[in-house]
Amino acid sequence: MWDRAAYRIVQEALTNVVKHARTGHARATVAYAPGEVALTVVDAGAGRTTTPITEGHGLTGMKERAALYGGEVHAGPLSPHGFRLTARLPYATDERTAQFPVGAGLEGA
Protein backbone atom coordinates (compact mmCIF):
# COMPACT_ATOMS: atom_id res chain seq x y z
CA MET A 1 0.00 0.00 0.00
CA TRP A 2 1.01 3.65 -0.33
CA ASP A 3 1.76 3.93 3.40
CA ARG A 4 4.34 1.15 3.20
CA ALA A 5 5.84 2.88 0.15
CA ALA A 6 6.10 6.13 2.14
CA TYR A 7 7.85 4.33 4.99
CA ARG A 8 10.34 2.64 2.65
CA ILE A 9 11.11 5.91 0.82
CA VAL A 10 11.93 7.69 4.09
CA GLN A 11 13.93 4.67 5.26
CA GLU A 12 16.02 4.62 2.06
CA ALA A 13 16.52 8.39 2.12
CA LEU A 14 17.84 8.22 5.69
CA THR A 15 20.06 5.27 4.74
CA ASN A 16 21.52 7.44 1.97
CA VAL A 17 22.25 10.20 4.51
CA VAL A 18 24.16 7.72 6.67
CA LYS A 19 26.07 6.30 3.69
CA HIS A 20 26.87 9.46 1.74
CA ALA A 21 26.32 12.73 3.61
CA ARG A 22 29.10 12.55 6.20
CA THR A 23 26.83 14.11 8.82
CA GLY A 24 25.10 12.86 11.92
CA HIS A 25 21.97 14.96 11.40
CA ALA A 26 19.00 14.84 9.06
CA ARG A 27 15.39 16.01 9.21
CA ALA A 28 12.49 13.90 7.94
CA THR A 29 9.09 15.52 7.55
CA VAL A 30 5.78 13.84 6.74
CA ALA A 31 2.93 16.19 5.85
CA TYR A 32 -0.61 15.17 5.01
CA ALA A 33 -2.94 17.15 2.76
CA PRO A 34 -6.30 15.99 1.44
CA GLY A 35 -5.49 13.15 -0.95
CA GLU A 36 -1.72 13.44 -0.69
CA VAL A 37 1.21 12.77 1.62
CA ALA A 38 4.42 14.76 1.16
CA LEU A 39 7.75 13.44 2.41
CA THR A 40 10.93 15.49 2.79
CA VAL A 41 14.35 14.38 4.00
CA VAL A 42 17.02 17.08 4.30
CA ASP A 43 20.58 16.91 5.54
CA ALA A 44 23.33 19.51 5.87
CA GLY A 45 26.08 17.08 5.01
CA ALA A 46 28.89 17.17 2.50
CA GLY A 47 26.56 17.47 -0.48
CA ARG A 48 27.35 16.43 -4.01
CA THR A 49 30.34 17.69 -5.92
CA THR A 50 29.29 16.17 -9.23
CA THR A 51 26.42 17.01 -11.48
CA PRO A 52 24.33 15.51 -12.82
CA ILE A 53 23.54 13.30 -9.87
CA THR A 54 24.12 9.71 -10.84
CA GLU A 55 21.25 7.63 -9.60
CA GLY A 56 22.13 4.45 -7.80
CA HIS A 57 19.72 1.71 -6.88
CA GLY A 58 18.40 3.69 -3.90
CA LEU A 59 17.13 6.76 -5.76
CA THR A 60 15.91 4.67 -8.68
CA GLY A 61 14.05 2.34 -6.31
CA MET A 62 12.42 5.27 -4.49
CA LYS A 63 11.23 6.77 -7.80
CA GLU A 64 9.88 3.42 -8.98
CA ARG A 65 8.13 2.78 -5.65
CA ALA A 66 6.45 6.22 -5.74
CA ALA A 67 5.45 5.79 -9.39
CA LEU A 68 3.58 2.57 -8.53
CA TYR A 69 1.14 4.74 -6.56
CA GLY A 70 1.03 7.67 -8.97
CA GLY A 71 3.60 9.67 -7.02
CA GLU A 72 6.97 11.20 -7.68
CA VAL A 73 10.37 11.67 -6.07
CA HIS A 74 12.81 14.54 -6.61
CA ALA A 75 16.30 14.75 -5.16
CA GLY A 76 19.17 17.17 -5.44
CA PRO A 77 21.96 19.05 -3.75
CA LEU A 78 21.46 22.17 -1.66
CA SER A 79 23.75 25.17 -1.73
CA PRO A 80 26.35 25.49 -0.28
CA HIS A 81 26.07 21.91 1.06
CA GLY A 82 23.49 19.32 1.94
CA PHE A 83 20.92 17.33 0.05
CA ARG A 84 17.10 17.27 -0.14
CA LEU A 85 14.76 14.50 -1.20
CA THR A 86 11.06 15.16 -1.65
CA ALA A 87 8.35 12.67 -2.48
CA ARG A 88 4.65 13.01 -3.12
CA LEU A 89 2.24 10.08 -2.88
CA PRO A 90 -1.46 10.48 -3.63
CA TYR A 91 -4.04 8.43 -1.75
CA ALA A 92 -7.80 8.07 -1.73
CA THR A 93 -9.17 10.36 0.97
CA ASP A 94 -11.37 7.65 2.42
CA GLU A 95 -8.33 5.32 2.57
CA ARG A 96 -6.42 7.56 5.00
CA THR A 97 -9.44 8.42 7.12
CA ALA A 98 -10.23 4.70 7.44
CA GLN A 99 -6.77 4.18 8.95
CA PHE A 100 -6.85 7.26 11.20
CA PRO A 101 -10.45 8.17 12.07
CA VAL A 102 -10.95 11.75 13.15
CA GLY A 103 -10.56 12.02 16.90
CA ALA A 104 -8.74 8.70 17.22
CA GLY A 105 -5.81 8.78 19.60
CA LEU A 106 -2.46 7.60 18.29
CA GLU A 107 -1.23 6.46 21.68
CA GLY A 108 0.20 3.00 21.39
CA ALA A 109 0.36 3.24 17.59
pLDDT digits (tens, 9 = 90+) for 33-76: 999 999 999 999 986 655 555 567 789 999 999 999 999 999 99
C-alpha 3: how far from chain center: 11
- Residue 64: Cβ-neighbour burial (10 angstroms; 0-12, 13-18, 19+): exposed
pTM of the predicted protein model: 0.78
Domain boundaries, the chain: 2-99
For the packed helices 57-68 and 2-16, what is the interaxial angle rounded to 10 degrees? 160
* DSSP secondary structure of 9-43: HHHHHHHHIIIII--S-EEEEEEEETTEEEEEEEE
Q: Which CATH code is given to the segment(s) 2-99?
A: 3.30.565.10
What's the mean per-residue pLDDT of the chain?
84
